[in-house]
Amino acid sequence: MRADRLRRSAFGSRAVWLLLSATAVLSCSSGRGADDVTTLRFWGMGREGEVVAELMAGFHRENPDIRVRVQQIPWTAAHEKLLTGFVGGAMPDVAQLGNTWIAEFAAINALEPLDAWIARSAELSAGEYFDGIWSTNVVSDTVWGVPWYVDTRVIFYRTDLLSQAGYDSMPRTWDGWVAAMHAVKRIAGPDRYAIFLPTNEWAQPALLGLQNGSTLLNADGTRGAFSEPSFREAFEFYLSLYRDGLAPPMGHYDVANPYQEFGRGFFAMWITGPWNLGEFQRRLPAETQGSWSTAPMPGPDRAENGVSLAGGASLVMYRDTDHPEAAWKLIEYLSRPEQQQRFYELTGSLPARTAAWEGSDLATAPLTRAFWEQLQHVEPLPAVPEIESIMSRLIEHSEASIRGGTSAADALAALDRDTDRMLEKRRWMLGRARERP
Amino acid sequence: MSRAGWYFVAPALVLIGIFFFIPVAGSLLLSLTDFDIYAIADRGNARFVGLRNYADMFGNSVFWIAVRNTFYFALVGGPLTVAASLAAALLINARVVRYKSFFRTIFFIPFVTTLVAVAIVWRYLYHPQYGMLNYALGWFGVAPIDWLGDPRTAMPAIIMLAIWKNFGYNMLIFIAGMQTIPSELYEAAELDGAGAIRQFRHITLPMLAPTFLFVGVITMIGYFQLFAEPYVMTAGGPLRSTTSLVLLMYEEGFRWWRMGAAASVAFILFAIILVWTLVQFRLQREAA
Amino acid sequence: MRNVQKALVYGLLLVGCVISLLPMVWMVSASLMETGAANQYPPKLFPERVTFEHYRALFTRLNLGRYLLNSAFIATTVTVLSLLINSMAGYAFAKLRFRGRDRTFRFLTLGLVIPVQVSMLPLFLLMREMGLINTYWGVIIPGMASIFGIFLIRQYALSIPDDLIDAARMDGAGEFRIYWSVILPVVRPILATLAIWTFLSTWNDFMWPLIVLSDDSMFTLPVALANLSGERVQDTELMMAGSVLTTLPVMLVFVLLQRYYVEGITMGSVKG
């Protein structure tokens, strides 16, 4: 009867429960396994996280006593997973960490300092990496990560449209660059533009500021320096590109398919990163393949000042790891030039190690040599944990100027006010640290 | 005898007390501090800041966007869901219909499904080029709409999903309510020459008034807590047009670890729900 | 006239059925399509060639079997434990006399208005202190007692005739014995409803498991699915297969046991 059925199902489910809880208890003791096999946990994000599992086969062959368990996390959830994992005490041994986040994780004592490991290592050292990239991993004179792959911004442009305007290569100074853009615009007409600068990205105004000598924040990263002349001039230059009709006042979402638009000449230049090398080849209309190239960023007055952002991700070791030696072996393995090379082939993410560039045609191939040149002149953002929130405020205030008509001085003053407020806690903590012996 | 009762309720009270009420009180306390990622590393880094989190929130434009979005969702989606449920209930309850339980089951299936799974399905249905919805609209000559990519249509898209998913639940309650209305009332009205619409307005609606209140309140309380749909489908975008209060709380708390600020959002949400529920009760009582 | 009315009503009902079921039909159908077939114009409702490769991939490469087990384990455990705990409390609030009973119950119902998200942040910190982050129990424990469940059971238990209980007491039965052998069989219908409701909502729960579980071996299906969708947003057919696997068990549970479920909801609301 119904009573029996319910009681039986209750009993049955209890039996199932006992069985499953037994399984759960058994599975809880994962990670230790047999005494002679160390299991390392590696968290990877995005495409790199998918691909890194393929690189592990070689590592396992070399180190039969170590097994690496790769867990993939989508980029959209990465920041929260990393922090939640830290707070909850459920951290991996090694992880891929975007280098703009290194300051944050170092500040909360989540990472293991790597200076001693690097000093002892026969396989890698600071000199084998791009200077600007290496310095993104250094906070308070300590090295917290080993660069894994790099990312920086260069100009992708239509060679045919530029030569129509009378230029056979991208100028190397701001003045030359603006003149080229005006020339392109004259031919393109009122409905088209010279360059695509999405209004909802902070990379462009930030790197222009860095080029002009701004440090974005003051010396110890406790107050905003956006109203200073070095940033203000760069910001006004940025705004002038919209005002003079060279760039459309549109954000990412306003352009449904930027590849299509680039292909049809809606804009002739686009400041973006290495992931688009592959995307351009895949997504541009067939007629446009072969009519585009890349060039390093022009500088305010000299080519060498054309710095760009030092982006990318590093390999970090978590402080609480039970297997530091094994973790370090993994980091060394993934940093080998051949592995960097192979990683590039699988993902399109540019290697951080200069040997991988020199040992292949990356430094000289027509599309990637702009990146090689640019990577010699990259600068990190200020290494404060709040930097990402500050950058998203930069977007808000610059959009207010571009689309809302706020003057540059007002926008930057408001940005400084917001930044100062966000850094208040940092000021308080540094103040306390100074007071303590 | 007096003691046995306490033993029976003890497990539940202990669990609810420790794992619900105490954290709620903790949230209030948290909202008065600047507990953040620095405080996780060292608890001494948290400071008591009084109502500053609330003041900062009220000065934060994203917060007001989240308030606007949440109200938009609740005040448009809520009544539409209730209307859809009522319509479905009326249809099923119509005397001419046989196989009532068959239809009732079909209409209820969307409610039972896992929200994350259907949000993913609907994300594909909303695809500007390959989605079924734009394809069907194309038959009527409507140009393709970028449902989830256009800030003007993203929230309506989420509202449609919510109506589809939730109308079945309220429908059951309406059906139950309708079945308590004596059929003699309808028969008498028909003899008097009243058509279906007049019967609806003068018999069904008034007799369903308490059901309306119940359905309205629980729907609104649920809708103010919008989270999973924007999290899975739009990440709060485009342009923050689908960022709800709970999504904002999640971002502040678990993405940026500004826990003091996140707790203040949670409490503001609680206050909104409380006030709204009281208002709804008041309005209903005055209308009755 | 009557026939026109009938046609209209049935017509509308049919439209309603199509709207209700079309997304689910497309979900199943796309999961059986070959890779890339779901992303074409014009979109197809049914697969040209049926393939199970996505299901195979989910179970082999992507470990979905593990997530299925996790969901099943957690949902079953919560259901069984919460039935016990909530029914004890609901019965006691309805029928047992003890000091402060009604005041405590009123206080509990106030909790129904508080959105659960208010408790999540400190609850996370509390669980961290207790070492329950990233464990099954971290997900199970908050679901073990529910104010709504207690409310539902109390509502039903109020209608139990007191003579039944008094008679058992006079026979010398202890309180727990009465609860187990007399009360539980009588409240069977609402227990069934609550069991199904709890199983469904625990299975479908997303936000809390998302926050508490960081090790992917412990993910429940909704969390694993959201994680997968962040990565594989291009693989429509694969994602649909994942959605089918996530939704199918609860839909089956519901369709098979729907009579109890529907009874309970309608009872609870009409009496309420």
Tell me the CB-side half-sphere exposure of residue B60, using CA atoms within 13 A: 20
**pLDDT, average across residues C140-156:** 92
> In the predicted model, is pLDDT for residue B96 greater than 80?
no
Residue B18: its pLDDT value, please?
Answer: 95
Q: Is there a cis peptide before residue C42, judged by omega within 30 degrees of 0?
A: yes
Is residue B37 within 8 angstroms of chain A, CB to CB? yes
Contact (Cβ atoms closer than 8 angstroms) between residue A412 and residue A232: yes
Interface of A with B in 64-83 (CB under 8 A): 76, 79-80, 83
Identity of residue C108 = L
This prediction's pTM = 0.83
* Residue A433 at interface with chain B, using a CB cutoff of 8 Å: no
- Cβ-Cβ contacts under 8 Å between B and C: the total is 273
- H or E segment and range at residue A375: helix A369-375
The DSSP annotation for A80-132 comes to: HHHHHHHHHT---SEEEEEGGGHHHHHHTT-B---HHHHHH-SS--GGGB-HH
Selected from 3.40.50.300, 3.40.190.10, 3.30.450.40, 3.30.70.20, the CATH number assigned to the domain covering A154-309+383-433 reads 3.40.190.10
Shortest Cα distance, chain B CAs vs residue C11, angstroms: 10
Closest chain A C-alpha to C262 CA, distance in angstroms: 17
Yes or no: domain A38-151+310-375 corresponds to CATH 3.40.190.10: yes
For residue C228, the chain A residue with the least C-alpha distance is A74
Q: Which domains does chain B have, with CATH numbers?
A: 60-287 (1.10.3720.10)
Contacts of A104 in chain B (CB under 8 A): 37
To test the contact with chain C by mutation, choose from B1, B99, B120, B280 the residue with the greatest count of C C-beta atoms within 10 A, namely B120
**For residue B184, pLDDT beyond 90:** no
Instruction: Please state, in angstroms and rounded to a whole number, the distance separating the CA atoms of residues A87 and A72.
Output: 19
In this predicted structure, what is the pLDDT of residue C267? 66
Q: What is the mean pLDDT of chain C?
A: 88
Both C77 and C26 in one domain: the answer is: no
* Token output for B176: 């139950």
Instruction: Residue window 131-160, chain C: list those with CB within 8 Å of chain B.
Output: 141-142, 144-145, 147, 150
CB contact at 8 A, B147 and B90: no
Instruction: Give yes or no for residue C113 having a pLDDT over 90.
Output: no
Same fold, A38-151+310-375 and A154-309+383-433: yes
Average pLDDT over residues B49-73: 93
Are C178 and C109 in the same domain? yes
Please tell me which residue of chain C has the smallest CA distance to B24: C119
The pLDDT assigned to A122 comes to: 87
- Which of C103, C121, C125, C128 has the highest number of chain B CBs within 10 A, making it the mutation to test binding with B? C121
Q: For residue A25, what pLDDT is reported? A: 53
Same domain, C32 and C120: no
Residue B243: C-alpha distances to residues A397, B71, B249, B262, B268 (Å): 20, 11, 10, 14, 15
To test the contact with chain B by mutation, choose from A82, A108, A320 the residue with the greatest count of B C-beta atoms within 10 A, namely: A108
Confidence of residue C215 (pLDDT cuts 50, 70, 90): confident
SS3 A308: strand
Upstream peptide bond of C47 is cis (omega within 30 degrees of 0) = no
Query: What's residue A5's pLDDT?
Result: 41
Contact A108 B146 (CB under 8 A): no
What's the CA gap between A332 and A330, in Å, rounded?
5
| B242-280 residue pLDDT tens | 999 999 999 898 888 889 999 999 999 999 999 998 888
| Interface test with chain A among C231, C232, C234, C238, by most A beta carbons within 10 Å | C231
Contacts of C187 in chain B (CB under 8 A): none
Domain of C212, CATH number, reads: 1.10.3720.10
Cα separation of A166 and A162, whole Å? 7
Cα–Cα distance measured from residue A283 to residue A101, given in angstroms and rounded to the nearest whole number = 31
Test C124 with A87 for CB contact under 8 angstroms.
yes
**Token duo for residue A83:** 């922090």
Write out the DSSP string of A227-270.
TSHHHHHHHHHHHHHHHTTSS-S--GGGSS-HHHHHHHTS-SEE
What are chain B's partners, defined as 3 or more CB pairs within 8 angstroms?
A, C
Neighbours of A348 (CB within 10 A): 18
Joined together, the tokens standing for residue B190 give: 């028909």
Q: Alpha-carbon distance C195 to C81, whole Å?
A: 10
In the 3-class helix/strand/coil scheme, how is chain C assigned residue by residue?
CHHHHHHHHHHHHHHHHHHHHHHHHHHHHHHCCCCCCCCCCCCCCCCCCCCCHHHHHHHHCCCHHHHHHHHHHHHHHHHHHHHHHHHHHHHHHHHCCCCCHHHHHHHHHHHHHCCCHHHHHHHHHHHHHCCCCCCHHHHHHHHCCCHHHHHHHHHHHCCCCHHHHHHHHHCCCCHHHHHHHHHHHHCHHHHHHHHHHHHHHHHHCCHHHHHHCCCHHHCCHHHHHHHHHHHCCCCHHHHHHHHHHHHHHHHHHHHHHHHHHHHHHHHHHHHC
Of the listed ranges A140-149, B41-50, B93-102, the one predicted with least confidence: B93-102
What local confidence, expressed as pLDDT, does residue A339 receive?
A: 92
Which residues form the domain of C28? 1-51
Within 8 A of B106 by CB-CB distance, chain C residues are 16-17, 20-21
Give the strand order in the sheet containing A292-295. A195-196, A269-272, A154-158, A292-295
Residues C183 and C129 in one domain: yes
Distance from CA of A284 to the nearest CA of C (A): 18
What residues of chain B lie within 8 A of the CB of A87, using their CB?
40, 257
Q: What is the mean pLDDT of residues B99-115?
A: 90
Distance CA C54, CA C31 (A): 7
- Same domain for C247 and C147: yes
Report how far apart, in Å, the C-alpha atoms of A45 and of each of A51, A71, A200, A326, C201 are. 10, 8, 23, 21, 30
Contact check, Cβ <8 Å, A253/B254: no
The verdict on a CB contact (< 8 Å) between C19 and B92 is: no
Inform me whether the C-beta atom of residue C221 falls under 8 Å from chain B C-beta atoms: yes
Residues C29 and C152 in one domain: no
Residue B61 token pair = 């434009």
Query: Does the distance separating the beta carbons of A27 and C217 come in below 8 Å?
Result: yes
B256 chain-A contacts, CB cut-off 8 A: 79, 389
CA-based nearest residue in chain C for residue A27? C217
User: For residue B202, what pLDDT is reported?
Assistant: 83
Query: Quick check: B157 pLDDT over 70?
Result: yes
Tell me the domain boundaries of chain A: 38-151+310-375, 154-309+383-433
Looking at the structure, do residues C80 and C28 belong to the same domain, yes or no?
no
Q: Is there a contact between B228 and C89 if contact means CB atoms under 8 Å apart?
A: no
C46 and C65 share a domain?
Answer: no
pLDDT at residue C191 is higher than 50:
yes
Nearest CA in chain C to A83: C214
Angstrom distance (rounded) from CA A313 to CA A315: 7
Cβ-defined contact of B257 to A83 (cutoff 8 Å) = yes
- The token pair at B77 is 């989606």
φ, ψ dihedrals at A299, nearest 5°: -105, 165
Got the DSSP string for chain B? Answer: -HHHHHHHHHHHHHHHIIIIIHHHHHHHHHTTB---HHHHH-GGG--B-TTHHHHHHHT-HHHHHHHHHHHHIIIIIHHHHHHHHHHHHHHHHSTT---HHHHHHHHHHHHHS-HHHHHHHHHHHT-TTT-HHHHHHHHTTPPP--TTTSTTTHHHHHHHHHHHHHHHHHHHHHHHHHHTS-HHHHHHHHHTT--HHHHIIIIIHHHTHHHHHHHHHHHHHHHHT--HHHHHHTTT-STTTT--HHHHHHIIIIIS--HHHHHHHHHHHHHHHHHHHHHHHHHHHHH-
Q: What is the mean pLDDT of residues C199-208?
A: 92
Interface of C with B in 178-207 (CB under 8 A): 179, 200, 203-204, 206-207
* List of chain A residues whose C-beta atoms are within 8 Å of the C-beta of residue C83: 10
CB atoms C175 and B8 under 8 Å? yes
> Measured between alpha carbons, how far is B257 from C211 in angstroms, rounded to an integer?
13
Q: What is the mean pLDDT of chain B?
A: 89
Q: What averages of pLDDT result for each successive group of 10 residues across chain A (437 residues)?
A: 42 51 49 67 88 90 92 85 84 92 89 93 89 91 94 94 93 95 93 92 94 93 94 96 92 78 92 89 86 94 88 93 93 92 88 90 90 92 88 89 88 93 89 77
CB contact set of A87 (below 8 Å; sequence gap of 6+): B40, B257, C124, C125, C128, C133
Q: Does the structure show a pLDDT above 70 at C272?
A: no
Helix, strand, or coil (residue A313): strand
C11 and C130 inside one domain: no
Residue in C closest to A13 by C-alpha: C76
Q: Which residues contact C7 (CB under 8 A, 6 or more apart)?
A: none
* Among B residues 19-58, those touching chain C with beta carbons less than 8 Å apart: 19-24, 26-27, 30
Considering its fold, how many domains does chain C have in total?
2
pLDDT in tens, C26-73: 999 999 988 878 777 788 888 888 899 999 988 888 888 999 999 999
Mean pLDDT confidence for C183-187: 88
ipTM: 0.87
The reply to whether B277 touches chain C by the CB within 8 Å rule is yes
Is residue C70 within 8 Å of residue C219, measured between CB atoms? yes
Strand bridging mode A38-45 / A66-73: parallel
Strand bridging mode A350-351 / A145-151? antiparallel
Residue A322: CB atoms within 10 A of its CB come to 12
Q: Which of residues 83-102 of B touch C (CB under 8 A)?
A: 88, 91-92, 94, 96-97
User: Smallest CA–CA separation between B231 and chain C, in Å?
Assistant: 9
A253 touching chain B per CB within 8 A: yes
Mutation target to probe the C interface, by most C beta carbons within 10 A, among B102, B106, B121 is B121
A245, A185 Cβ separation under 8 angstroms: yes
